[in-house]
Each structure stands twice: as C-alpha cells, then as structure tokens.
Structure 1
Amino acid sequence: MRLTALLGCSVIVLTGCGSMPVTGDVKAVDASQPGDSQVQVYAVEPREGAAPSEIVDGFLESMTSDDPDFRTTRKYLSQAAAKTWQPSEGTTVLAQAPNRSGPLLHDEERRDSETSYTLTGEKVAAVDAQSSYQPLAPTDYSQVLHLVREKVADGKTEWRIDIVPDGLVLGQSDFKRLYRSVNKYYFATGRTDGRPALVADPVYVRTGTDPLTRMSTATQTVRTLLEGPTNWLRPVVDSRFPTGTALRKGVVALAPDDQNVLKVPLNDKADKAGRAACRMMAAQVLFTLRDLTSARVEQVELEGGKGRLCALDADEAAKFSADSGSDGPDSQYFIDAKGTVQKIPGATGGNGTPEAVHGPLGTGAAAMGAVGVARDEQRAAAVSADGQHLYVASLVASGELAAPAVTSAGKKAADRLTSPSWDGQGDLWVADRDKARPRLLRLAEGEGEPQEVRVPGLDGGRIEELRLSADGVRIALLVTEDGHTTLKIGRVERRGTDEAPEISVEDLRQAAPQLTDVSAISWSGRSRLVVVGKEAGGIQQVRYVQADGSTTSSGASGVLPGVNQVRAVAAADDELLPLMAETEGDGIVKLSPGDNWQTVLEEGTSLVYPG
C-alpha cells in the first residue's frame, strides 16, 4: 500500500499536479470534482522546469489542500509575492473550479521572461475575512495572474507567479469539502422585555485543521466568537466578552473531557468580567460549540489569566435561549374549511385529532383565511378570509371577537394583508399589500396602534409574506419585483424609547439567489429556514436555507424529499418536531426526521407552528 501511494505521488509530481489525496483510491486530484469531506489533500511543490501553465494549475490546486500556512502553495509564487500574499483575506466561491486561459502576452521580446493567464468562472458566493458568507446571483469572474522567470534556491531560473490577488478562489465542490457552516452566538440588544437572549451568527470555518492557524474546527469557532459578531449582525447584538479577550497563546485544540466538560483557556483580558457576565460568556461558548464536538458538551469552564473564572452547564444555559415559547412541545395550528382556527396538540407529534381553539377564533364568529400564533400559545392573530381585517384574540379565555386591529384598503384579496407572524418578544407583525399604500406593520405585544416599520432596501418591491425569527432581530421576507418573488432577510433594528420606538428593517440581503421564484417560507430552528421555490426553468423544490442565505451546510445539498405542489410550509423552533406542509393534492402532510412524507389531514389551510 505504501509503494502504491509513492507511485501515485510520483505520477502527480511528473504531471505538475499541485495536490494529492492521502486517503482513498490513488488518483490525481481535479479541483472540479464533486467535494468529498472524507478526502484529505496536501500540496505538491512545483516540478523543476515546469511550464507557466503548470505553475498556474499547480497553484490553483494547491489552494484546495491542507497545506500548513500554505507554505508549499507559496512556492508557486515569486519571493516577493510569497511574502505579501494573504490567503486569509476571504474566499471567492465559483460554481466550478476556475478556468485558465492564456497566455495573454504576445510580445515576442518579452514572452521568454514574463506572461499572464486569465482565471474565469461564475461567481456564486463570497466569504469575507470575518468568515461571513454572502450568496450572490451568478456573475462573471475574471482575474489575471502574472508570471515572471525568477532565480530559485539552487540558482536555476523558474516560472513563478508575481502578481496574485489576496484570498482563495475555490470551486463550489471544493468549498463544500473544505468548509462547514457553524453558528456563533451573541446577545440581542434593544429587547423590550429586558430578557437576555442569544442570537445565532452563522459563519463558515475550515473542516478539520485550519492551514493558517493549525486550529481544530471547534477552536476556530471559539476564536471567531471571541473576535465579535459579523458586520451584518453587529448593530443588533453584543458580546459579554471584555474587549481584547482571546484564546490563550498556543491553544489550537479544544475538546471536552470524559465528563463532557470543556475547559476554555483565555488571556488575562477575560479577568475583567464579573461573575454574571462570565456566566453569559460561558453560555455563548456552550451554545456555539454544542453541535460541533463528537462528544456532547454538557458544561463549559472558562479560565482566565489568573485561573478558573466560572462554569455553566447546559441546563443553566437554557434560560438564555431566544425561544420564549410554551413549556411543552409546540402545537400545530390551521384553518378548516369553515374558516375556524384548529389546533393539533403538540404532544401528538402531528398525529393528534384536531380541535377548535379556545376563544373567539375557535367559535366561527368570522371566517378566517390565515393565522399566526404567539410563541407562548396564549394568543393568536388571524386575518379574515377576504384578507381585509386582522384580529387578535386569546387562546385561553372565551369572549367576543374584538374589533379589527388592522384593516387594509386593498381592492382585492391578493392586495390586502399577509399572514401574521409573532417574534420572540411577543410583538406581532403583518404586511399590507395595498397597491396604493403598501406597509410593513408591527403591533407591540400584539396590542395598540399599529406602527409602520421602515424598510429602506425594499426598492419598490412588495412584501408578499413574512416570518420573524425567534430572537426577533431577523425577518424573512418574500418580495415581488419585476415579476419574480424572491427571499430576502433583513435585520430588525430597534431605537427610540418605549413611548416612541423607532423600528426599521435594515440591510436586506438576498438569500438563495438561485431560486428565482419562492412561494413559501418558515423558520426552522435558530438559524435556518425551510423554503419552497424554483430555479429558473426548474421544478418546485423544498430546501433548507441558512440565515446567511447559503443553501448548503457541511457538503449537504439541503434539498428535502419531493412532495407535490406545496403551497405552504411550517417548521418549529425545535428541529426535532416534524416539518409540516400544505399541498394541493395530498392535503396537510408531515415529514419527521429520518422518515418520509405522511398525510396528516386531507383538508386545511394556513398551517403554522407558533411564531
């Protein structure tokens, strides 16, 4: 086996390949092959006398390797470029591995001493220096690499790249193989209920060992947590770690012990934190790491420059969850053929017998067309069947249906109110699609005068559907513009005072840009959504989308098993609860983890979980 591996290495060196697998079958590595998270790759130095095209190819392939500090990768660069090239300055993600074309230089007097090649492709995403992912509508990518002949260590003259952009450029398959999505957690600011609640901030970190820092995935994640929130989320969250807090020098691997206790050594900046702040710091680490390590982290101990600072276990950390729902499993709610709000008890996992809700929404006093239930399941908001009126009512007490909280002046049902949504602070949100006056509205704690919410980045688009995250700082919008409905995610900023609040949705960013038409959305857990949509010219699909807009995680496509003609989806904050869908042909169906779609009810509309 060792001889075979050596022979494989010799073949790769002779062909000028920049990297090779060290596990699995022996074969040359093509950067355009589909990603395989089980393949390890390391870089191979440029061969003596390599042609310029081999140098470019070897450099590109070497970027897909696990080369420590990219030391071998830098050998494809000139001495000056090797010192200044910054691979940590972000990653460009292309649909396929970059294409090489060239040489570009046709001056016969210079072609023996310098030349250039152009890298081209279709850019689909970018990851910045903060490890924050931004999906992009496919755009043309073009970058020039310039090469010169330079003397190397043995005095011979070889081709080397002397002009190279900072950062990495990877095909999508290699990116999936090399990186994974993780959530780091910070505390929401501006909450009206005064309760500390953690918000997921998704980033992409290197799977396994990072070439630059030599840190494990868990250690990389803690490091990014300590560096602070990403720029997009920063205005609405903060960290309890004192400024300058970092991992103690030399820490490259973090793992829980046999008691599932994780000790995190920090520098002396952490000593400034008081006990209450320290416990909140520990909660940030616990939430961030609990899905990463092979052994479940049950307790986090923080150590500062002077020793142990504090400890927090998983049960104590639960109070910092953004979900302020009911104590039991979330129930499912829908509207029956008579316009009455019905409930499927949560303890039944979607298999229970529907029953009319308590209160006026369950009596049929008025026919409803859409419903949204508060996360504590004490109240609900329902939109009338004609889309004109929004009613708010108790789910635990009987009484008469109150006057509408919001009324739309839209001429047609499609130009009136959307389905309502409740955030984790108990505020109620709805959009009015009236062509003469489209608005996004918020009712503080579901009561009082509706407040219009500014959405500066809407640019003439109209909100067709909305869903608030449990933490209350992110909103998912279906926006129609130029004949297409796409998914956008905005940041909810809260300013002003309790008496005169100023609420706006800022920095709208497109999520899943490859889906040109999206018809239904629902938050699923802390940092992802379930989305129903179509690619250009494609068929309908149901898939997961991360809160940063990416549609892949740990190499998975995120596409769920097919189900026919989905009109709406409903997912819970608890990802162990079944995903529900409303279809045209099969009624209401559910998808439990590890199972197939099953019919729950033959009739029903506006299916929702609380939220």
Structure 2
Amino acid sequence: MDAEPGPGPGHEGPRAGAGVRAGAGGAPERAAAAGAPGRRRTRTRALRACALGAAGLLLAGCASMPDHGEIRAVRGSQGVDSQVRVFGVPPADKASPADIVDGFLEALTGDDPQLETARKYLTEDAAKSWKPGSAVTVLSAGLDRFPVQGEKNSDQARWKVAGKKLATVDERSAYQPETGGAQYEEFLQLVQVDKQWRIATPPRSLVLSDSDFQRMYMPVSKYYFAGGTLVADPVYVRQRSDPDSRMDPTTQTVQSLLAGPSKWLGPVVESSFPTGTELREGTKSLSYDGQNTLRVPLNAKADNVAQPQCQKMATQLLYTVKDLTASRPERVELLRSDGKTSMCAVSEVAAADLANRPPTPGFQYYVDAESRLVRMKLDVTNDEQQYRPEAVPGPLATAPGFKVGSAAVSHGERRAAVVSEDGHGLYVVPLTGSGAMPPPVLVGRGAKPNLLTTPSWDAAGDLWVADQDPANAGLWRVPGGTGAPQRVEVSGLDGRRITSLKISPDGVRIALLLLEPGGRKNLWVGRVERPAGKGDASAVSVRELRPAAPQMADVTAMSWAPRGRLLVVGRESGGVDQARYMLADGSMVAASLPGATELVAVAVAVSEDEDKPKPVLAYSQEDGIVWLPPGAQWRTAAAGGRGPAYPG
C-alpha cells in the first residue's frame, strides 16, 4: 500500500514521498538489507506506526523483521504519511551490535515522549545524560553505518555512522542548508552491559534523513520588527507534540518566537517582548475562546509592559500563529503571569496597521513590444474580465524616443525606476504629471551583456541595482530613490558577479543571482545591515550570504513572495526547469508550479490581502507575458512583452 503524505498545518503544498510497505496483516513494514561487516549498511529496524483514519478508527500495527522474501535496501523512512504516528521498537534480547545501531537510528525518528525507546539502546549513564535538544542534522538520504576495523576488545564495539549533510536545524529551530557536499560522521561506542550490547556515546543531536525530517517537522514563520515593519523569520517545529517539551505545534512556535529571532536574522530585527519572557510555567497547549481569540499566558517578565509595547507583542504573536491552524485566530490576547488577567489584545485589523505591510498592488506592469512600460489589471476573481494594457502616465508616456530595457515600480506606485534599452542609464521617473525625462541617477559603463540589472525597490523607498561591468561590478543603492548612489559592500561574493537582484519589501534581505564559475547561476540571500543612529549612511552592507535554492543546479529567475518566501525558477541536477516556492532559509515548501519549462522571469505580489489574491506573472520565451490565476493554468496576457513586474 502506498500512502501519499497529507499536508500538515503550515504546509504550502504536498511533499514528495514514497509509501509505507504493508507487511503481513496490513502492518507497515520496513525491509531488511543484508551486508557483510564493513560494507555499506542501511537502517533495517522495524517501526510501529499508528494513524487516525477518516472514520475515526485508530489503526496500529507492529512490524517485525522479515525472515523470507526479497531483500530491499532502504534509505531512512519510506515517506511515512505525515498523519501517521511512528514509534520505535525496543532492543531485542541479546541483539547484535549491528541491530543495536540500526534500532537506535530508527528510534530517533519516533514520536514517543522523551525519545524513550531510543534511550533503551543506551547505557544507563548515557540515557540519563543524553540531551539532543532541538538541534537536528538532516541528511540527503539515510545513514551508512559499519564497524570500525581493528577493534579487538570483545566487550566493546565501535561503529561509524556517516552520510551527506543536507542541512542543520539549530537550537532556535532555524534551518541552514549545507554547501560543498559536507559529510556527517560520528562514532558510536558500544559496550556490553549484563551481556547486552548498548551504546555509550550517542550522537550529540538528532540525525534524520530528509524524508524523515519532512514527515516529522513543518515550516512556520515567526515575526519580528525591523523598524516599523514585520519581518518573517522561518523556522521548523515538530508536526505533533515535541518529544522533549510535550508542547503542541502552536505552542512550540510561540515558544520559539519568545526565545528570539534566528542567529542569522537577529542582527537586523528586534522583538517587542522583554528579555526573559516565556510562556507561563506548565503551559503545554494554547486555547481559543468562543470568539476565536488565542489566549497566551506569559511569565512575570512581561507583566508590567506599557500598552503600546503590549500591542506590538500581540501583533508578533498574531502573525506568527495565524497560518498554523485551519481555524485562523481573529484576535490574540496576552495574559499576565497569573494566567487570568488580560494585559492587552489585538485584532487582525489593528495588527495590520501595526505590521506596516506593503500595500495591495493596483496594477501589474511589463515592458511591451515597443519598449514602453505599460500597466494592466488582471482580476483572478473574474475569468471574463477583459484587460487592456496602457502606457504608464507621466514623463515616460510623453518622452519622445525613450526606450525602456527593464523597470521596477515603487510600492506606492508613484515612481518607476527604469533602465534604458541600451542598459547604461538608470532613471527614476514619476508616474504622475508630465514633463521631460529626468537625468539618470546612475550610469553603467559596461558593454553587452554586462549592463545594469533590473532595479528593485524596498518599501522604505530605497532603490537597488547592480552593475555587471567587470571593470566596475558591484551593488548600488540609491537612498530614497533620489540621493547620491552608494556602493554597497557584499561580503562573500568571492569574485562572482551579480546578474539579477530582488530586495525584500522589508528591506532586511536581498536575493542575489550570482554567476558561478562555469556559467551556472545560483541564488543566494544576504542580510542587509544598516548603520545605527546618525552614522555614515553609505555603510549599508550585505552580510552572510547563504544559499537560497541549494536543490537547484542552475537558477533562471526569482521573485519575493508573501510571508518571506521566494518563487524560484531553475533546474535541478539532471532535471527540467521548474518554478518552486522556497523559504528564505533555502528549504523547499511547495510543489512546483505547472508548465514552467519556458519561464525566464517571474513576478509575485508581496501584499498579503488574501481576499484579493493576485496572479503570478511571468515571461515565457514562447508566449510572452503570461499569468497564472490560483488553481488554473497559464494564460497569455501579452504576446510581445517582457519584464513582468509587481511593485517592488
């Protein structure tokens, strides 16, 4: 029987995974892989899985090691349905060292409290002291494990476990992709206790295959302030109750929010919660009242905050939890440390005012066949609507002979930043009134194809662009769209050239498409650091580049999307072009969009007005400007256009 993973809370879409093979009597079963000592071995221990079926019946089956039939190698759990609970099997009497190692590694993937089954494979001292915490090592496949040669002591055995690292999840639940084919390697020391083999040196953190990790954890975003704007900070929490804290997913996420931002984002955001704020002692779950209000009791550290600060705290909480459950909270109420007295409450409407989100776009934009910047309205709620592109108002409509190469429109849709068709001049042009074209704010000197990139606006009104000229390559920022251009230091470029960029609306992250040796393009996200106080404004810099699409062998295009995500067009190794939503931490969160093989540019509205969704825009080499309404197929908007854009 093959089971397809069902989307858990917070998922953006289905995740790929194989099914659980049914054994005798219908019990889920893992097949064994035989091998001589010293050869590659895979985990073979059986698991017990429990699932709550649609009819409300609890189905449980206990797997056993098969003693006949074909032998299959398995690499970690076989994509067990995310709604299935998995429990390890305790060690058998007088189990061999190989079985102890296999059983322990399988038990790490279980849902039992305090990892009780995994601890049964450890010595008494190791079981008491072992604290894997929330840190996780994620491997691209399962673990290889084999005995270390040369061990002579019959009372001890030493086994090596190894695999290829895909990512790590730190103690703050932040996901960090690995680069350069990093290898995981650890040694497990086994000893005999009362003639039973046990592990004396367990791994320092949980070690999971990618399929196990996707089954057990889900991506969520917690929110912090950068200036007056909320910023999404993606993390991963357990799909069900955490084995250590026994908290449900919502409570885990709130706990993570209170613990502070991820280390990577921490330097550019701040939390409204006082230092040391935690959930009231003993809180394992959070409840809703009859008005769909989430009530959150805090400890005494937050008892005496002023109302404006309390409102910002509640806003962080509301945005953090609103996508975690099917019944989204309409209001968050914070309680004092007595668990009863209300400190403050915030509704969705009030929170939206405090969050300072980008406005809903009024138009979609692109460059037409005559190299003019045009705008149109695409309404996904009205399939019969006729849309007619029109030239944008202002000097661009009246400037004789001016041709647009690429363009970006500010979030308020009052100005456009355009690069001339020859790729040399960057102009900031009002979208109202009339008059002559203003002079360029920046001039590039490179020859084709090393010209100025498509510009990008952040919500504060700063303009960003990169010069691809090898003699003068660099990232530039135009403060307010009118100030003197400032070169932005980007740490970690290592001689690579920026070929495309997109600043996040909040202005604290920038997505950079870098030309790698050999001609491939990879996507990286950097943290934008701005000087504090009244220091030198030119000291704005980009720090700590990290891979944003490590699964892609070559990236073609990208765009920021709501809730701190990226829509990325690229090709996996040996695969075809596809468009996928990614979290800014580099983890994939949804299935690919349909028909993405010809897309070379994409645009997504970053506003979060869910009552008025905006379609995905794209440029197809075959069809021109196309758009994708939710749940539909691509449609052609303009056969001769290029450079699709939403404000930003």
Q: TM-score, normalised by structure 2?
A: 0.86
**Equivalence for 2:342:** 308
Which residue does 1:464 correspond to in 2? 499
Is 1:141 matched up with 2:184?
A: yes
CA distance in 2 between partners of 1:450 and 1:423 (Å)? 15
The one-letter code sitting in structure 1 at the alignment partner of 2:601 is A
In structure 2, the residue matched to 1:182 is 220
Q: Deviations over 1:228-268 (max 9, x none)?
A: 01110111011111111100011111132231101001111
Amino acid in structure 2 at the alignment position of 1:528:
R
The alignment partner of 1:83 has SS state of helix
For residue 225 of structure 1, the aligned residue among 254, 257, 275 is 257
Q: CA deviation at 1:164?
A: 1.8
Among residues 351, 373, 377, which one is paired with 2:413 in the alignment? 377
How far residue 16 of structure 1 moved from its aligned partner, in angstroms, is: 8.5
The answer on 1:284 being equivalent to 2:316 is: yes
Structure 1 counterpart of 2:467, one-letter code: D
Q: Is the contact made by 1:245 and 1:269 (CA closer than 8 Å) also made in structure 2?
A: yes
User: Runs of 4 or more off by more than 3 Å in structure 1?
Assistant: 4-12, 14-18, 24-32, 105-108, 346-351, 496-500
SS in 1 for 2:324: coil
Maintained 8 Å contact 1:455/1:504: yes
CA distance in 2, matches of 1:515, 1:442: 28
What per-residue deviation string (whole Å, max 9, x for no partner) do you get for residues 499-529 of structure 1? 7312001111111122121111100113111
Q: Which amino acid aligns with 1:470?
A: P
Alignment of 1:375-524 (within 5 A): 375-410=411-446, 412-482=447-517, 483-495=519-531, 497=533, 500-501=536-537, 502-524=539-561
Across the aligned residues of Structure 1 and Structure 2, the Cα RMSD in angstroms comes to 2.3
- Equivalent position to 2:601, from 544, 564, 568: 568
Q: Deviations over 1:322-349 (max 9, x none)?
A: 4333xx5442101111111000126577
Amino acid at match of 2:168: A
> Shift of residue 27 of structure 1?
6.8
> Contact 2:514/2:523 (CA < 8 Å) preserved in 1?
yes
Counterparts of 2:471 and 2:409, CA distance in 1: 29
Query: 2:46 touches 2:63 (CA, 8 Å); kept in 1?
Result: no
1:43 to 79, 88, 91: 88
Superposed CA deviations along residues 186-237 of structure 1, whole A, max 9, x for unmatched, are: 1004xxxxxx111111100001111111101000000000000111011101
| Contact 1:566–1:581, Cα closer than 8 Å, also in 2 | yes
Contact 2:221 2:563 in 1 (8 A): no
SS at 1:417 equivalent: coil
Partner residue of 2:35?
none
Q: Is the CA contact (8 Å cut-off) linking 2:463 and 2:480 kept in structure 1? A: yes
CA distance in 2, matches of 1:160, 1:124: 29
Q: Is this contact kept in 1: 2:376–2:390, CA < 8 A?
A: yes
Residue 129 of structure 1 and its aligned partner are, at CA, apart by 1.0
Contact persistence 1:339–1:364 (CA under 8 A): no
- Paired residue for 1:588? 625
Answering whether residue 198 of structure 2 is matched by residue 163 of structure 1, we say no
What is the distance in 1 between the residues matched to 2:222 and 2:647? 25
Which secondary structure does the structure 1 equivalent of 2:274 belong to? coil
For 2:182, what is the secondary structure of its paired residue?
strand
Question: Aligned match of 2:358 in 303, 324, 327?
Answer: 324
Could you tell me how far apart the structure 2 residues matched to 1:340 and 1:11 are?
62
Closer/same/farther in 2, CA of residues 386 and 9 from structure 1, 3 Å limit: closer
Aligned-pair CA distance for 1:409: 1.0
Q: How much does 1:9 deviate?
A: 8.3
State the shift of 1:397 in Å. 2.0
Partner residue in 2 for 1:265: 297
Alignment of 1:361 with 2:405, yes or no, is no
**Counterpart of 2:405 in 1: which secondary structure?**
strand
**SS of equivalent to 2:104:** helix
Q: How does 1:195-214 map to 2 (within 5 A)?
A: 196-214=228-246
Cα distance in 2 for partners of 1:8, 1:596 equals 39
Query: 1:346-402: per-residue Cα shift (whole Å, max 9, x none)?
Result: 657796211110012233531011000001101110000110001111112222110
Identity, % of aligned positions: 45
TM-score norm. by structure 1 comes to 0.91
**Residue of structure 1 equivalent to 2:40:** none
Name the amino acid aligned to 1:486.
N
- The 3 A distance-change label for structure 1 pair 548 and 107 is closer
Q: CA deviation at 1:10?
A: 12
* Number of aligned positions between the proteins: 586
Q: In 2, distance between residues paired with 1:492 and 1:107? A: 52
Asked if 2 retains the 8 angstrom alpha-carbon contact of 1:18 and 1:62, the reply is: no
Structure 2: tracts of 5 or more residues without a match: 1-21, 33-42, 52-58, 65-73
How far 1:72 sits from its partner (Å)? 1.8
Q: Distance in 1 between matches of 2:399 and 2:477?
A: 26
**Cα 1:246–1:599 shift into 2, 3 Å:** same
Note if 1:602 corresponds to 2:636: no
User: 3-state DSSP class of the match of 1:294?
Assistant: coil
- Any conservation in 1 of the 2:424–2:445 contact (CA below 8 Å)? yes
Q: CA deviation at 1:18?
A: 5.5
Cα pair distance change 1:90/1:173, threshold 3 Å: same
Q: Name the CA shift for 1:136/1:127 in 2 (closer, same or farther; >3 Å).
A: same
Provide the residue aligned with 1:82 in structure 2.
127
